Amino acid sequence: MNKRGFGLKSVLMVCAIVAVALVATACTPKKSDAEKALEAQIADLQARMEALSKTGTAEEVAELQAELETARERRGGRREKTETETPVVVTLPPPTETTTTSGTGGTTSTGSTSTGGTTTTGTTTGGTTTSTSTGGTTTQTTTTQIPPTEGMKFSGTTLTEFSNVGQDLSNIIIPQGVTAIGGRAFYQKNSLKGVTFPSSITTIGEGAFGDCEQLTSVTFASPSSLKTIDRAAFQNCKNLTSITLPSSVTTIGRNAFQGTSLTSITIPSSVTTIGNGAFISCESLTSVTIGSSVKTIETYAFGNTGITSVTIPLSVTSIGQGAFEACRNLTSVTFQGTIPANTFNAHVFSPAVSGSDALRAAFYADNPSNGTPGTYIRHGEYSSHGGIPRPGESVVTRTRQ
């Protein structure tokens, strides 16, 4: 009886365990196909996050993280990560400290703030510099704006306009940071007497100081970045008697100094071309030094000036028509090299009226193709009728180098 009772109890216990298991199974909701697909998507996104954290950029990681969070919300709301949802650790490059110093009208900011790989610094000369670091690569964009200063208006770093109402024009100082003077920015500012350029200036635009008849002083900060003096930049500045061109200048444009009262000029060795009429009608100009890198002296470059002698450097390969036309005081020309006849215009040294060009003729006398180096001295006046000089007219002799 006791054994039978013990056996019955065992059977009943087993039955109870099986019943509980069946109930638990019945109470567990079955996952739909959509839920299974969502779980698979989350698992895939987690695997991609792990791989991307080693090779991807901050932007790519952030984008994938957002996609993973969306999937988790769809699964039933945000929740604490379980062991199956291993946290992904993203290692970004350390932030790079940037120091930015402003010019006029700006501020100075030192330091960096790194968020998702982006570093932003303060302003430069009234503008903003932003550095973005992505996967170890930094891209920097700088926007610079010079604020209005003493009647000056700017577009970026170009001085575009000047209003002299109530301004002292004895000496205008262009702010540091300005890189260009726009076309006609100071045109016909007749009361302007002096201008000082900062080392940042690279271009003086077309007609920028044209017809500034009282301008007597032009100063460039050292070291200068000036490259281009554009067309008619100082045309008809009748009281400008001297200027020292920076050694950085490469281009002297057409009519750049036409009609000024310069008495001497030194063309820096950085210049390769002297533009058409660059110094034409500078009647007070008596001394010219041409730099050793000049290749081209264009048409009428020194026409109608008072120069008495000039040396054409070895680098010159072309001289345009009338380059030294009507220079009636020019008696000595030294050629350091040869110049092909087809690039040496037939009327380089002609007078104002059509006539002989005895200096050129003498240059090619011994070498009709390329000319002969040496110093050529003119005696008497140019012939006004062409052909063989008459008594008292131009005769040229040459001294070999």
| Structural contact between residues 372 and 401, judged by C-beta atoms closer than 8 angstroms | no
The verdict on residue 249 lying in a domain is no
Looking at the structure, tell me whether residues 344 and 398 fall in a common domain. Answer: yes
The verdict on residue 254 lying in a domain is no
Question: Which amino acid is it at 339?
Answer: I
Residues 333, 213: Cα–Cα separation, whole Å: 32
Domain boundary residue, one of 52, 69, 91:
91
Mean confidence (pLDDT) of the chain = 78
> How confident is the model over 111-140, as pLDDT tens digits?
444 444 443 333 344 454 444 444 555 555
Task: Tell me the CATH number at 152.
Answer: 3.80.10.10
Looking at the structure, tell me whether residues 339 and 297 fall in a common domain. Answer: yes
| Structural contact between residues 169 and 193, judged by C-beta atoms closer than 8 angstroms | yes
> Which tokens sit at 48?
């991609």
Looking at the structure, tell me whether residues 170 and 114 fall in a common domain. Answer: no
Looking at the structure, tell me whether residues 75 and 113 fall in a common domain. Answer: no
The verdict on residue 374 lying in a domain is yes
Mean pLDDT calculated for residue range 303-323? 96
> How confident is the model over 197-244, as pLDDT tens digits?
999 999 999 999 999 999 999 999 999 999 999 999 999 999 999 999
Looking at the structure, tell me whether residues 294 and 380 fall in a common domain. Answer: yes
The verdict on residue 9 lying in a domain is no
Residues 91, 119: Cα–Cα separation, whole Å: 16
Question: Which runs of consecutive H residues, i.e. helices, occur in 261-368?
Answer: 358-363
The verdict on residue 21 lying in a domain is no
> How confident is the model over 2-14, as pLDDT tens digits?
555 556 666 567 6
> Which tokens sit at 139?
């891209």
Looking at the structure, tell me whether residues 270 and 348 fall in a common domain. Answer: yes
Looking at the structure, tell me whether residues 113 and 68 fall in a common domain. Answer: no
Looking at the structure, tell me whether residues 317 and 377 fall in a common domain. Answer: yes
The one-character DSSP state at 263 is S
Question: Per the structure, how many domains does the chain have?
Answer: 4
Domain that holds residue 83: 32-91
Looking at the structure, tell me whether residues 76 and 176 fall in a common domain. Answer: no
Query: Quick one: 160 exposed, middle or buried, by C-beta within 10 A (0-12, 13-18, 19+)?
Result: middle
| Structural contact between residues 240 and 263, judged by C-beta atoms closer than 8 angstroms | no
The verdict on residue 377 lying in a domain is yes
Looking at the structure, tell me whether residues 298 and 165 fall in a common domain. Answer: no
| Structural contact between residues 224 and 245, judged by C-beta atoms closer than 8 angstroms | no
Question: Which amino acid is it at 124?
Answer: T
Q: By mean pLDDT, which of 266-275, 276-285, 372-381 is the weakest?
A: 372-381
Question: What pTM does this model have?
Answer: 0.65
